[in-house]
Amino acid sequence: MKLRNSTLRMQTFVLTLALLTIGIATARAQFPFQPQKPKGPWMDKTLSPDQRADLAIAQMTLDEKIALLHGGGWAELFALFAPDGTAPATRSLGNAGYIPGIARLGIPDLQMADAAVGVTHGSVFGRYCTALPSGVSEASTWDLTMAREYGALIGRELRDQGYTMSLGGGIDLTREPRNGRIFEYKGEDPILAGKLVGAEMRALQEQGVVGDLKHYAMNDQENGRNYVNIKADRRAMRESDLLAFEIGVKDSGVGAVMCSYNLVNGVYACENDYLLNTALKKDFGFQGFVISDWGATHSVAKAAMAGLDMEMPGNDHFGEPLKKAVESGEVPAARLNDMVHRILRSEFAVGLFDNPPGRQEVDPMAGFEVAQRVAEQGTVLLKNADHQLPLAAAGIRSIAVIGSHADVGVLSGGGSAQVDAAGGSAVPPRAGLSPMEQVFGNPVWHRSSPLKAIRAQAPNAKVEFDPGTDTATAARLAQASDVAIVFVSQHASEGVDVPSLTLPQNQDALVSAVAAANPHTIVVLETGGPVTMPWIDHVSGVLESWYPGIRGAEAIANILFGEVNPSGKLPLTFPKSEADLPRPELAHQPPGRPEDMKALFPGVPYKENTRQFDLDYSEGLKVGYKWYDAEAKVPLFAFGHGLSYTTYAYSGLKITPAVPPAVTFTVENTGSRAGAEIAQVYVTLPAAAGEPFQRLVAWEKVQLAPGESKTVTATLDSHYLSIFNADQDAWELVPGDYQVHVGGSSRDTPLHRTFTIKDVEKGQSPPPAGGDK
């Protein structure tokens, strides 16, 4: 496929998608592509993926190798720019990325679909894919079983739609809570995020598609994402954002990692030798391929030698220019083969050669089940004064349901993660939106109606809806009702950060007015990340449902009425105020000077501000709760917080001095309902480590019947107890006393104990752990 000026054209996803909304005919043909079953020795399934990749490479011409290292994407966009206005002949399914396979060798097409919270663009095939709750909801389950279900479902639906590769697996940490993509990610803790994404990607790949982790690395805000230069020291990176990727890579054996748009310490992430070659490939042992984010490739030999394996989309660097660089010896043939090897071994490893996807209908009912389960486990009960919840339907005569289109649907996150709403958005887009706004400023509401779900739970109550647009009428309805349930929301999307943590559209005033009118006011949040709550002392209950997906309303109603006992815990901190953040002001790209304003698309009057700017991560590795603990700031809701309709007691903490040490404790359900408690283990390192704040090192979800006790034993991974010694370029355990804290949230740890790690002989790893004090 000839893609002219493609990188330029694809430079920002924002404009790309905006153009797509103008309405372009699709260019798909001849699906599915079933390459003839080749007879080559690389088809011997008894060989390892690496051996098979090498055997296939031995047959490939230079042109064939180069052809696997770049591709198209958004096939319709290319069609738009085709000289004669017609679509190029392509087997592309028209989602984010496409690299044609090589039939004579049986190399399958790489059909890539964005799939962060479900497979996108399902409607193209007339069959919708499951809109799962957002990634931060999955993270709120703290449950690797849920993460596996999440990944398996996405993998299955990708296959059903004919895709061979997922673009999802986002784990940039919540350094900037206004980041528009927090809903895609898994919170602020590297170990929690890494373990969850590891489980998710392993399960996804077991469905026979290539998985990916993204956006590597330090891509923690959308504002200026193409031009921001993150300044962070190595230790801070390795113990925070990079640790999440390290764990994710190691736990999943994921086939691909997507490098990000931004620069890190002065070098673009996609040509950053330290990030790609040293950390990812050498230290984490990543065997798959590095794919650029869309338009994030900036060089040929520099990027290839720094560890980038695939340019997407376009061919400006890894097309003819890379071929020339190989021919001239600037990029050695061995490195070219390594690039191809990494791609092919990932395809062999998930079974793409042996078992290419065949199209079949997505099973929506199976999707509903997983979506609802994740939403039920991922919804977090933040406040429940006087046991206002669960609501006892039998005793309630009237309920006011207010705000946030709760009569028709639940909100979802936008951008490349946007999953098509089955049947179209429940709330039609506002009139007069520009193409850009249609994609990025246009909230999509899935057809899962909280009003209906609440009515189903309370069939004898009068359940009335008020849109919440007029606080006075909403307050009147609240006053006339036994209970008021106010839904509030904040839309978030790729491409733009939320302007602040304040709920938009006067919703704080709405909550305050309703709470003043009715003492039994419950707030249900549908947000991408944290928000501030100036009304918190005046409401009885608060439930964070995130973007809860296609069965969100049913999950919310089940929790409100006690069919489900909430167990979700926050994977990120809710600050009291933006003044408490490491950066009270969101870092903005400075305005472009004339010399920084470049036309993006030839002939299209759109100029992009290309001015680079520094963002100093002076908070270092103090991300999220570590920041609040270190700075002695009291959050609104702490990392790990989440209430239940029952109560739990912790006792009997013991530490087994072994290598690695194990902690044992007992959790008892002291209330009258069955529940699941996420018991959390934090450790504060010895003073010599220079990290006077705790870190999460283990957790366990414990299912308990009323009155039941269970003893939990968690073995502490030496890696999670270690610090990264940047001088030695290695992890090390610091000798000294380690304080263990155990409980139900980072700010509620009733059990404490200390163990000692004795002096370490140089080179001995891991060192012996000392006794329990």
Residues in touch with ligand NOJ (CB under 6 A): 13, 96, 114, 167, 214-215, 293-294, 416
Contact 196, 237 (CB under 8 A): no
**Nearer CB in complex with ligand NOJ: 163/648:** 163
230 token code pair:
């993150």
**DSSP 3-state assignment of 483?**
strand
Judged by beta carbon, residue 296 or residue 714, the one nearer ligand NOJ is 296
Q: How far is the CB of 74 from ligand NOJ (least distance, A)?
A: 8
Helix, strand, coil share of the chain (percent; to 5):
30, 20, 45
- CB 516, min distance to ligand NOJ, A: 43
Compute the distance between CA of residue 565 and CA of residue 699 in angstroms, rounded to an integer. Answer: 19
Tokens of 93: 């399914």
| DSSP 8-state symbol, 720 | H
Tokens 């990290």 belong to which residue?
691
As given in the structure block, the two tokens for residue 668 are: 């008892």
Contact 193, 245 (CB under 8 A): no
Q: Which CB sits closer to ligand NOJ, 189 or 293? A: 293
Q: Return the number of the residue (96 or 621) whose C-beta is nearest ligand NOJ.
A: 96
Q: How far is the CB of 96 from ligand NOJ (least distance, A)?
A: 4
**527 and 182 Cβ atoms separated by less than 8 Å:** no
Residue 602, Cβ density class (10 Å: 0-12 exposed, 13-18 middle, ≥19 buried) = exposed
Q: For ligand NOJ, give the closer residue by CB, 135 or 635.
A: 135
Residue with tokens 């990932």: 346
Residue placing its CB nearer to ligand NOJ in the complex, 294 or 755: 294
512 CB-side CA count, 13 A:
8
Q: Is 401 helix (H, G, I), strand (E, B) or coil?
A: strand
CB of 73: closest distance to ligand NOJ in angstroms?
Answer: 7
Pick between residue 17 and residue 56 the one whose CB is nearest to ligand NOJ: 17
Any idea what the Cα angle at residue 246 is, between residues 192 and 570, rounded to 5°?
15
Q: How far is the CB of 444 from ligand NOJ (least distance, A)?
A: 16
Cα–Cα distances in angstroms (integers) from residue 643 to residues 6, 35, 169, 543, in the given order: 51, 53, 28, 10
Question: CB of 80: closest distance to ligand NOJ in angstroms?
Answer: 16
Provide the minimum distance between the beta carbon of 280 and ligand NOJ in the complex, in angstroms, as a whole number: 17
Q: Which is nearer to ligand NOJ, 215 or 373 (CB)?
A: 215
Coil/strand/helix, residue 8: helix
520's tokens: 């039994």
Minimal distance, residue 258 CB to ligand NOJ, in Å: 7
Q: Between residues 117 and 676, which has the closer beta carbon with respect to ligand NOJ?
A: 117
Residues β-bridged to residue 411: 445
Q: What are phi and psi of 545, to 5 degrees?
A: -105, 0
Q: Measured from the CB atom, is 263 or 454 closer to ligand NOJ?
A: 263
CB of 416 to ligand NOJ, least distance (A): 4
Is residue 744 a contact partner of residue 650, using CB atoms and an 8 Å limit? yes
Angle 131-136-142 from CA coordinates, rounded to 5°:
110
Rounded to the nearest whole angstrom, what is the least distance from the CB of residue 355 to ligand NOJ in the complex?
25
Nearby residues of 432 by Cβ (< 8 Å), 6 or more positions away: none
Nearer to ligand NOJ, 167 or 406 (CB): 167
209 Rama sector, left if φ>0, alpha if ψ -120 to 50, beta otherwise: beta
In whole angstroms, the minimum distance from the beta carbon of 297 to ligand NOJ comes to: 13
